[in-house]
Chain A
Amino acid sequence: AQTVTQSQPEMSVQEAETVTLSCTYDTSESDYYLFWYKQPPSRQMILVIRQEAYKQQNATENRFSVNFQKAAKSFSLKISDSQLGDAAMYFCAYRSAAGNNRKLIWGLGTSLAVNP
């Protein structure tokens, strides 16, 4: 069974600086999708960025980018020029490309604080 591990329960960053959140996963599959979700204090989960396993190029969305290392099964999230609004819980998630249900496998999250 697949698992997702976020080894940093809490992190902090100074406003305007860069922070990297770690995520590793375990799978025997070759085709899958990886996601980072953000959950601010308002509670609603928001999709930040996603990556297809068969694409070598790292995904980028404005200030958010990933470092996808397929062989190492690592999918870290880099937030550049951190803003106060980036403070939130961040969840890494995995989904197999096979099967009918294609459920997400979630990490336990990393709480990010942004210091002014």
Chain B
Amino acid sequence: NAGVTQTPKFRVLKTGQSMTLLCAQDMNHEYMYWYRQDPGMGLRLIHYSVGEGTTAKGEVPDGYNVSRLKKQNFLLGLESAAPSQTSVYFCASRTDRYLIAGYTFGSGTRLTVV
């Protein structure tokens, strides 16, 4: 099925460890986004990309890095995980061909930092 695929779906990290979350979309979308979702705080934008080779900071970028070397992939990295980064992470993508286009979301990654 076409869509957005996130890997892994679950992960437990120890404080200070690093990891990379992978987001892959097969819809040739230009825009890609990384969000975190925490109880009572809704969705907060971490980083986003408007095209291959470009990235930009969102609302809560500290402690995260991203890369978009290929149009279909958007990677989110945690260099030194902290308990405050325990969250559910969502990737989304969107075409820029139609202004009314909505986002297509992945199924999320639940990350626990202990």
A residues neighboring B (CB under 8 Å)? 33, 35, 37, 42-47, 50, 52, 91, 97, 100-104, 106-109
B2 at the interface (CB under 8 A from A): no
Instruction: Say whether, besides A44-B107, A44-B108, A100-B50, A50 and B42 are in contact (CB < 8 Å).
Output: no
Residue pairs across A and B with Cβ atoms less than 8 A apart, 25 shown, are A33-B99, A37-B103, A42-B107, A43-B88, A44-B105, A44-B106, A44-B108, A45-B103, A46-B105, A47-B104, A50-B102, A52-B100, A91-B42, A91-B43, A97-B99, A100-B50, A101-B48, A102-B31, A102-B99, A103-B33, A103-B48, A104-B43, A104-B103, A106-B43, A108-B41
B-side interface residues toward A, CB under 8 Å?
A: 31, 33, 40-43, 45, 48, 50, 56, 58, 88, 90, 92, 99-100, 102-108
Are A47 and B103 in contact, with the CB atoms below 8 A? yes
Chain A at the B interface: mostly helix, strand, loop or mixed? loop
Contacts of B105 in A (CB 8 A): 44-46
Bound-state Cα–Cα, A8 to B106, Å: 26
Question: Could you count the A-B residue pairs with CB atoms below 8 Å apart for me: how many are there?
Answer: 47
Having A42-B107, A43-B88, A101-B50, one finds 5 other A-B pairs with CB under 8 Å, namely A35-B102, A103-B45, A104-B45, A104-B103, A107-B42
Smallest CB separation, A46 vs chain B (Å): 8
Give chain B residues whose Cβ lies under 8 Å from the Cβ of A103.
33, 45, 48, 58
CA distance A50 to B100 in the complex (A): 8
Write the nearest CB–CB distance from B111 to chain A, whole angstroms: 13
State how many angstroms separate the Cβ of A107 from the closest Cβ of chain B.
7
Question: Which residues of B sit under 8 angstroms from A102, Cβ to Cβ?
Answer: 31, 99
- When distances are taken between beta carbons in the complex, the residues of chain B under 8 Å from A104 are 43, 45, 103
A37 vs B31: C-alpha distance in the bound complex, in angstroms?
18
Q: How far is the CA of A107 from the CA of B44 in the complex (A)?
A: 10
* Residues in A neighbouring B40, C-beta threshold 8 A: 108
Query: What distance in Å separates the Cβ of A10 from its nearest Cβ neighbour in chain B?
Result: 12
